[in-house]
Amino acid sequence: MRRVPASGPVAELAAWFWAPVWDLADGQESRQEILAYPVSNLVVEASGATLWGATTRVSARVLRGSGWAVGVVLRPAATAALTAEPVRLVDAHVELGEPGLAAAVAALMPRDVDAAVAVVGEWLRSRVGALGGEARLANDAAELLMTDATILRLEDAARRLAVSSRTLQRIAHRSVGLSPAAMIRRRRLQEAAQRVRDDPGSSLAAIAAELGYADQAHLANDFRSVLGMTASRYRRDARTPLARNA
């Protein structure tokens, strides 16, 4: 797995690129479980390009044989340009086709990941075009909601961005497909899961308090509804291969 940060003008459209390459023996398979950020991903494979929407729960993919992919963690501005209704792609995906893009990337993968990433980045720039004011605001809103631990409520984010709560809700709906509150909850769960992995002996009650949960029960509910397991089980099961994103 290679992760390549987005740079230059492409950074307005993508957070980073990711490129897995696998080669498994006959009969062998690898199940990859992912706790993803609530964002969309563009994935290019030899068969074509696919737009995957934000997820509300753990997703999984089983790898077999040999293969590769070049993925892009999209910023909201790019998602809104690639689909008119991101909400319809939540926990779903749509085939974009794009045989020319797939062929250009296939000619480079897996020997030259950097060149393949550059091809996907240039395609994304040409497809999205220049960004308007609302697109940039959508990017700023997502960055704030997903990275600032002091943002615990919709009103906190709206005040920081100098917009109304209703405007922020509309922008998130049109560019991500999830509500700001759902994005905040996912960020807190990401942080909680990371702390449990890094320090299995940590107190769940203390983690809940530090991350702004009303109590440990609310944290436990997020683990069950999103990860499909209790926080205590998650802590015991060191083999659970959850990642922040692909």
Which residues, 6 or more positions from 177, have their beta carbon under 8 angstroms from its beta carbon? Answer: 40, 53, 54, 79, 85, 86, 87, 88, 89, 90
Give the whole-number percent of the chain exceeding pLDDT 70: 96
Per-residue pLDDT at 237? 66
Question: What whole-number distance in Å separates Cα of residue 146 and Cα of residue 238?
Answer: 25
Give ∠ CA 24-50-106 in degrees, rounded to 5.
Answer: 55
pLDDT band per the 50, 70, 90 thresholds, residue 239: very low
User: What fold does the segment set 134-236 form as a domain?
Assistant: Arc Repressor Mutant, subunit A (1.10.10)
Question: What whole-number distance in Å separates Cα of residue 186 and Cα of residue 180?
Answer: 10
Q: How do the domains of the chain map onto residue ranges?
A: 2-128, 134-236
pLDDT score of 164 more than 80: yes
- What are the pLDDT digits (tens) for 193-202? 888 888 878 8
Amino acid identity of residue 181, one-letter, is A
- What are the pLDDT digits (tens) for 18-74? 999 999 999 898 887 777 778 899 999 999 999 999 988 877 788 888 999 999 999
Q: Read off the DSSP letter of residue 197.
A: H
Q: What is the DSSP string of 53-111?
A: ---SS-EEEEEESEEE-EEEEE-HHHHHHH-S-GGGGTT-EEEEE-HHHHHHHHTTTTT
pLDDT score of 106 more than 70: yes
pLDDT band per the 50, 70, 90 thresholds, residue 173: very high
Question: What whole-number distance in Å separates Cα of residue 89 and Cα of residue 112?
Answer: 31
Pairing of strands 21-23, 70-74: unpaired
Question: What whole-number distance in Å separates Cα of residue 30 and Cα of residue 115?
Answer: 27
The model's pTM is 0.82
